[in-house]
Structure 1
Amino acid sequence: MQQQEIWFSAVQEEERMRYDADQAFEAFRQRVAEHRTPKQPKRVIGWKSVFKYAAAVLVVGLVSFFSYQKGESNLKEALTQVEVEAPLGAQTRLRLPDGTLVVLNAGSRLVYPQDFGVDNREVELSGEGYFEVARNEKLPFHVQTPSLSVRVLGTKFNFRDYPNDEEAVIALLEGKVALGNRLREEAEIILLPDEQVTLDKEEGHMKKKSTKVKNSLEWTSGRLFFDEMPLPEVAKILERSYGVHITFATDSLRDLRFYGSFSRSEQDIKDILQALVKTGKVRYTQTEKEITLY
């Protein structure tokens, strides 16, 4: 823009020097015309117009003020939140200010306020996390996801609720927890050790059953455990654990279930895929991070 402005200035100077005489005559003619043209009466602005403009300015001012207040409130809230993530292919362990141990599985996120443990113990979970909650009867521990809310005093449990999963699952190892359904009106469910609740996100119903919860915690020690798990769920776990993308070329594979136990430190994604092939029902192709099952 600076070069363009300089170029225009040079042109204007050249034109001024070329037409000085013409401009002098034109200026004289305009002054004569001004004396002959009657002056227009001054426009008087009424009080109604003043109030109208003042009201418009006030409305704009109020909108700007409340927008600023809302933006400032959101900014303060964001600045007072602590967010911890476990990237794909990795896990994250953390100790909350109250002493609670949390292990986040791959592709998970935990958010809690900076003043956690002062007036409340509330956290938000996206993904899967194992919790060993420090006991505090005066301040119950709350975990919330878009689907479920969990209230405990002191306990050990596993909570899985990934955004793209069809189900949310919570399994209790020790203590007692109360579950609330956030998708529909439903009575709280009390969970006891070696019990599991599964929430169908589409229908919104919770179902409780007995289970071996220790199997659900294999991932915290670096193992992958599949207990008659549907193949689409197996694929999701492999995607998060190894940072790959898995697609199905044949829809009939989605009805298959798989059983197996693997060590992430000793076996890679190819070992697990070979185990699937040995069932005689699955084959695969792989190009870098893309895997197709057929």
Structure 2
Amino acid sequence: MKLQDAIRKGLFLGKYITGKETREEHQELKNWTEAGSANKELFKKLTSHSEIATQLEQYDSVNTSRAWNKYQERIRQYKLEKNLFRWRIAAILFFIIGIGGLIGNAIIDASFEDTPTNFTTVSTINGESSKITLPDQSTIWLNGGTSIQYSTDFSADNREISLDGEAYFQVAKNRKLPFVVDCDGLKVRVLGTSFNVSNYADDETISVVLEQGAVALSPELKSQKYDLKPGEKADYNRKTQDLTIRKVDTYQFTSWKKGLLIFKGETMREVVKKLERWYNVSIDVRNPEIYELIFTATILHEDVEEILELIRFSCSINYNIVLSQDPDTPIKITMY
């Protein structure tokens, strides 16, 4: 059910309860209740609440045209995000329809259940990567442990995807329709460009590296927008909401899509995370001081034991490898 239809049905129910419905409204409400068992059950539930009639008497005069215009204006102001969609809509309905929270929430909940939004999800597990082409001909490389999601009408009315993990984007140009990457607190908007985004849930920061073109960054909790230029890297701290931009060698952050890992003066804490995602292994660090050691190396298609030997030689870190009982991460490594 569309939101405007939900409002109409809520108003019809209100008029039904107070005995002020017209013949046409009565017939439309009857057709709706007979269209499915879920509608009939919802109708029963709403009309059985005596307090609704009392609430309706207090909001007897409702200008539906003005209410709908006000609702649309609120939509523009709030720019509703998907994760807050249900509750913001329910709150708006409460004020603009004036028939009480029970009808507003119940109608909207039913409409969400009856008409689910269709999404396409593409995922990789740790230890694998993938390359896909979107309907608008944009290309995405997914690193290990990554998931992207986009609606089935992608490129028709929108070019927005959500990202959990790391991905490299080559975006097809469309000046009329920006390409948006939603990173749970940070939005990346582009028209056509090449860039890398790292948004792993267990990382403190969201990182964006721009190779070509231009991107605009919009932190959810800030009104300020940031423009990124080629050769720059932005780091957005989830906790402090601070965003910093600096010049970098972009190849260091994009070479993974070619099977190459580049570490330049990185802490072992970061190295461990990347190795776990890259090789699908579990690494247990027994000595916390190991995390602060610095590691520099370029790795191309080596197996995990060769990498561990390199770490042992350059950082004096010992290790052992055992088979794990966890089928999702079959190899467990201990560093000490």
Return closer, same or farther for 1:270/1:186 CA change in 2, 3 Å cut-off: farther
Q: Does 1:70 pair with 2:109?
A: yes
Specify which of 47, 53, 58 is matched with residue 48 of structure 2: 58
For 2:240, the equivalent position in structure 1 comes to 203
**Counterparts of 1:137-156 in structure 2 under 5 Å?**
137-156=175-194
Please, what TM-score do these two structures have when normalized by structure 1? 0.75
Deviation (angstroms), 1:66? 5.7
For 1:21, the equivalent position in structure 2 comes to none
For 1:81-115, what per-residue CA distance to the aligned partner results, in whole angstroms no more than 9, with x for missing partners?
00000111111110000010000100000100111
Deviation (angstroms), 1:220? 0.3
For 2:333, the equivalent position in structure 1 comes to 291
Larger radius of gyration: 1
For 2:307, the equivalent position in structure 1 comes to 272
Distance 1:90 1:102 in 2: 14
Return closer, same or farther for 1:135/1:245 CA change in 2, 3 Å cut-off: same
Residues 147, 168 of structure 1: 8 Å contact kept: no
For 2:36, the equivalent position in structure 1 comes to none
SS in 2 for 1:107: coil
For 1:125, the equivalent position in structure 2 comes to 163
Deviation (angstroms), 1:74? 4.8
- Count of aligned positions: 236
Return closer, same or farther for 1:152/1:56 CA change in 2, 3 Å cut-off: closer
For 2:15, the equivalent position in structure 1 comes to none
Percent of residue pairs bearing the same amino acid type: 30
Distance 1:272 1:200 in 2: 30
Which has the higher mean CA deviation after the structures are superposed, 267-276 or 254-263?
Answer: 254-263
Which has the higher mean CA deviation after the structures are superposed, 106-115 or 229-238?
Answer: 229-238
Distance 2:159 2:46 in 1: 46
Distance 2:206 2:216 in 1: 15
Return closer, same or farther for 1:72/1:200 CA change in 2, 3 Å cut-off: same
Distance 2:259 2:140 in 1: 15
Deviation (angstroms), 1:292? 1.4
Residues 46, 103 of structure 2: 8 Å contact kept: no
Q: Does 1:169 pair with 2:207?
A: yes
SS in 1 for 2:48: helix
For 2:286, the equivalent position in structure 1 comes to 249
Opposite residue 263 of structure 2, the aligned amino acid is F
Deviation (angstroms), 1:59? 3.0
Opposite residue 308 of structure 2, the aligned amino acid is L
Distance 2:283 2:185 in 1: 26
Q: Does 1:238 pair with 2:238?
A: no
Residues 161, 169 of structure 1: 8 Å contact kept: yes
Opposite residue 290 of structure 1, the aligned amino acid is K
Q: Which runs of 5+ in 2 are unaligned?
A: 1-43, 53-101, 324-330
Q: Which runs of 5+ in 1 are unaligned?
A: 1-53
SS in 1 for 2:311: helix
For 1:17, the equivalent position in structure 2 comes to none
Please, what TM-score do these two structures have when normalized by structure 2? 0.66
The structure with the greater share of residues assigned to strand is 1
SS in 1 for 2:173: coil
